[in-house]
Amino acid sequence: MAQLDILSAEFTREVESAWDCARDEALARSIPVFYRDHGTGIEIMQQPDGRRFEIRFIAGAPRGCNYEIVRELSVSAA
């Protein structure tokens, strides 16, 4: 069995590709996607219609109510 190098560029490309596929599949099923933009550090909620929002998570809140929308992001900011 080949040794797995999680620090390799190939591994990074494969993980990014898997994330892109999972995100696209969720959005196609009308499920919003939550993630952190590592470039800006902003927590984002992306809606299936393409809109993106900066959000803030609320610690200890029940699932489905554990975030608040800070602002809608413009296409250039997202």
pLDDT value, residue 40: 93
pTM of the prediction? 0.78
Assess contact for 16 and 23: CB atoms under 8 A.
Answer: no
Please give the average per-residue pLDDT across 49-59, as a whole number.
Answer: 96
Please state, rounded to an integer, the average pLDDT across all residues of the chain.
92
pLDDT value, residue 76: 66
Assess contact for 45 and 33: CB atoms under 8 A.
Answer: yes
Query: Which band of pLDDT confidence, cut at 50, 70 and 90, is reported for residue 3?
Result: confident
SS3 content of the chain, % helix, strand, coil (to 5): 25, 30, 45
pLDDT value, residue 63: 87
The yes-or-no verdict on residue 4 having pLDDT over 90 is no
